[in-house]
Amino acid sequence: MTEQAGRLTVTPVHSHFGARVEGIHLPDLSKDDPAAKELFDELVALQQEYSVLVLPDQRFVDERQMEFTKEWYGPLETQVGTIGTEARLHPNLADWSNVDPEGNGKLLSWSDQRMIYQSGNQVWHSDSSYKPVPAKYSLLSAREVPPSGGETQFVSQRHGYETLPESLRRELDDRIVVHSLLYSRSIVAKGLFRPEQERAIPPTRQSLVRTNPVNGRKGLFIGAHAWYIEDMPYQESRALLDDLLARITTDDCVYEHRWTPGDLVIWDNRCVLHRGRTWDAARHRRVLRRTTVAGDGPTAEPTMATRTPEWDGIVPEGLGVEPAEVPTAAADEVSAR
Ligand SMILES: O=C(O)CCC(=O)C(=O)O
Ligand SMILES: [Fe+2]
């Protein structure tokens, strides 16, 4: 049912979360206009409530999208280095596109090396949950869309958490999960990072359950980068993370956004998972551009994870905290001298 929130028209898009918002054209918002500030505050309040906002007909160009995001939301995230071309336009702008950046108008198919990194977006994830300070909001703008396929899907990790059995929720509440982009992309393909790029993204610790600071609502914080739970046998923790993901991503929990050029979707990475859907990339253009608002702080401290045997072959030597040495008889003897 459509409602009026101040000057904005709000229509929920799913029974758990998500709303379509009309009555605002973000590219035109000016910091000099007090009414614009009011409108923006209403939008942020809706964001806390609905987690995903769909704003049709927002005619952004790249420069304005970056400028607007920074001016109104705060510092932008910088993309990590990969073998893909998504950072080619600007370090603060993700270019999700299958159009050959060489400028010859050629379309890149899924077998193209440059598209393989991008295909990692097709598993449920929260943007940059592998960084010590994970992202707050993502603003994804549709510039060109295919006639079919290429949708983006969302699920609410709050609804997911709230519908778990109480006893399970209690078990999860104070747990820490190690997240890693090297782990999540190792499942997609090998060789997606150069050695110096790998060294810039050590695994990081995150709370398994996060609380929204404004309304106190709790949500899970998992997805593709969530590797294992600390202080739990590795296989058991993998099984638990897989089970949680399966529970919160059943069909009835999914909002699927079918893009129209000009759409802007803003989601709250603290409490939502998303994934892109495939399309016929060899035949149809799909160009989306994302700006990402940096998070307010870490979710767990210290942020640096301790190396375990599972890291071998995925995370280069020398990254992370070395596990404390188990004292041997010989070492005891030396220290006793
Ligand atoms: O391509 C998509 O639909 C999803 C892209 C994505 O994961 C992102 O923009 O963060
Ligand atoms: Fe994403």
Q: What is the DSSP string of 10-62?
A: EEESSSSS-EEEES--GGG--TT-HHHHHHHHHHHHHHHHHSEEEE------H
Nearest CA to ligand 1 atom 7: 121
Q: Sheet containing 152-156: which strands, arranged edge to edge?
A: 255-257, 152-156, 272-276
Q: Quick one: DSSP state of residue 284?
A: S
In a domain, 335, yes or no: no
E runs forming strands in the chain: 3-5, 8-12, 19-22, 52-55, 94-97, 137-144, 152-156, 176-179, 204-207, 209-211, 218-220, 226-229, 255-257, 264-268, 272-276, 287-292
Q: Which atom of ligand 1 is nearest to the CA of 151?
A: 3
Which ligand ends up closest to the CA of 265? 1
> For residue 305, what is the domain's CATH number?
3.60.130.10
Residue 28 Cα distances to 44, 105, 137, 139, 240, angstroms: 17, 31, 20, 16, 46
Q: Give the pLDDT confidence score for residue 265 in this predicted structure.
A: 98
Asked if 260 and 105 touch (Cβ cutoff 8 Å), the reply is: no
In a domain? residue 63: yes
Distance 117 CA to ligand 1 centre (A): 12
Q: Whose alpha carbon is nearest atom 2 of ligand 1?
A: 276
Q: How far apart are CA 105 and CA 141, in angstroms?
A: 21
In a domain, 330, yes or no: no
Q: Which residues contact 258 (CB under 8 A, 6 or more apart)?
A: 151
161: Cα separation from own chain's centroid: 18
Residue 31: phi, psi to the nearest 5?
-65, -20
CA distance 135 to 213: 15
**Domain count of the fold of the chain:** 1
In a domain, 331, yes or no: no
pLDDT at 132: 98
Q: Is 290 in the pocket of ligand 1 (CB under 6 A)?
A: yes
For ligand 1, atom 6, name the residue with the nearest CA. 121
Q: What is the pLDDT of residue 104?
A: 87
Contact in structure between 249 and 275 (CB atoms under 8 Å): no
**pLDDT tens track, the chain, 337 positions:** 788 878 899 999 999 999 999 999 999 999 999 999 999 999 999 999 999 999 999 999 999 999 999 999 999 999 999 988 889 999 999 999 999 988 888 999 999 877 998 999 999 999 999 999 999 999 999 999 999 999 999 999 999 999 999 999 999 999 999 999 999 999 999 899 999 999 999 999 999 999 999 999 999 999 999 999 999 999 999 999 999 999 999 999 999 999 999 999 999 999 999 999 999 999 999 999 999 999 999 999 999 999 999 999 999 999 999 998 766 655 555 444 4
Which string of b and e fits 137-163 if b means at least 16 CB within 10 Å?
A: bbbbbbbebbeeebbbbbbbbbbbbee
How close is the Cα of 162 to the center of ligand 2, in Å? Answer: 23
Cis bond upstream, residue 233 (ω within 30):
no
Indicate if ligand 1 lies below 6 Å from the C-beta of 138: yes
Cα(293)–Cα(305) distance, rounded to whole angstroms?
A: 24
Paired with 207 in beta bridges are 176
Ligand 1 centre distance from Cα of residue 183 (Å): 19
Measured between alpha carbons, how far is 229 from 234 in angstroms, rounded to an integer? 7
Dihedral Cα 283, 59, 95, 276, nearest 10 deg = -60
Atom of ligand 1 nearest to the CA of 286: 1
Q: Which atom of ligand 1 is nearest to the CA of 127?
A: 10
Closest ligand relative to 225 C-alpha: 2
Q: Could you tell me if the CB of 121 is within 6 A of ligand 1?
A: yes
Domain extent, residue 227, equals 3-321
304/326 Cα distance (integer angstroms): 20
Residue 84's pLDDT is what? 85
**Which of 126, 152, 151, 300 has the alpha carbon at shortest distance from 226?**
126
Q: Whose CA is nearest to atom 3 of ligand 1?
A: 276
What DSSP designation does 330 have? H
C-alpha 120/C-alpha 225 separation (Å) is: 10
- Domain membership of residue 75 (yes or no) is yes
Distance CA 72, CA 31 (A): 8
Does any domain span residue 329? no
Q: Which atom of ligand 1 is nearest to the CA of 121?
A: 7
